[in-house]
Amino acid sequence: KAGVTQTPRYLIKTRGQQVTLSCSPISGHRSVSWYQQTPGQGLQFLFEYFSETQRNKGNFPGRFSGRQFSNSRSEMNVSTLELGDSALYLCASDSGDSGANVLTFGAGSRLTVL
C-alpha cells in the first residue's frame, strides 16, 4: 500500500510569490490534513479536508488555503509569500471516520522563501 506522497519535496521561492503544494493520500483515506513545521514550533495545524470540504481550520492567515479533489488528493496554496513562511509543510491522511484516527504523514515539502 503506497504511503502519503507529497510533491515537490523541495522548493525555493521569493517573497511575494505564491506556491502550490500537492498531497496524495493513502488509497481509501478520505481525510487530508496539512501542518506547518518550523524549528522550535513543532507542528501547527493548518486545515483538514474531508470529502472535498474543509472540515477544520487552524489559526493561519487567509494567504493559506487548500482544496481537495474528488479522488481525495489535496493541494495547499500560499499566496504573497513571506520569509516566515519558510517551513516544512506536512500532509497527513486518515480514513476520516468518526472517532480518533491515527494520521499517516508524508515526507513533507520543504519551502524556502528568500
Partner 1 sequence: GESVGLHLPTLSVQEGDNSIINCAYSNSASDYFIWYKQESGKGPQFIIDIRSNMDKRQGQRVTVLLNKTVKHLSLQIAATQPGDSAVYFCAETGANNLFFGTGTRLTVIP
The residues that touch partner 1, with contacts defined as CB under 8 A, are 4, 31, 33, 35, 40-45, 48, 50, 55-56, 58, 90, 92, 100, 102-108
Q: Which is nearer to partner 1, 18 or 54 (CB)?
A: 54
Q: 62 or 99, CB closer to partner 1?
A: 99
DSSP 40-86: TTEEEEEEEEETTEEEEE-S--TTEEEEE-TTS-EEEEE-S--GGG-
| CB distance 91 to 74 below 8 Å | yes
- Min. distance of Cβ 68 from partner 1 in angstroms? 14
Set of cell numbers at residue 84 = 516566515
**Which residues have CB under 8 Å from 27's CB, separation 6+?**
1, 2
Q: Which is nearer to partner 1, 35 or 64 (CB)?
A: 35
Question: In the bound complex, what is the minimum distance in angstroms from residue 106's beta carbon to partner 1?
Answer: 5
Shortest separation between residue 26's beta carbon and partner 1, angstroms: 13
Hey, what's the cell of 20? 502550490
Pick between residue 14 and residue 34 the one whose CB is nearest to partner 1: 34
In sign, the C-alpha dihedral spanning 24, 1, 56, 15 is: negative
CB of 52 to partner 1, least distance (A): 15
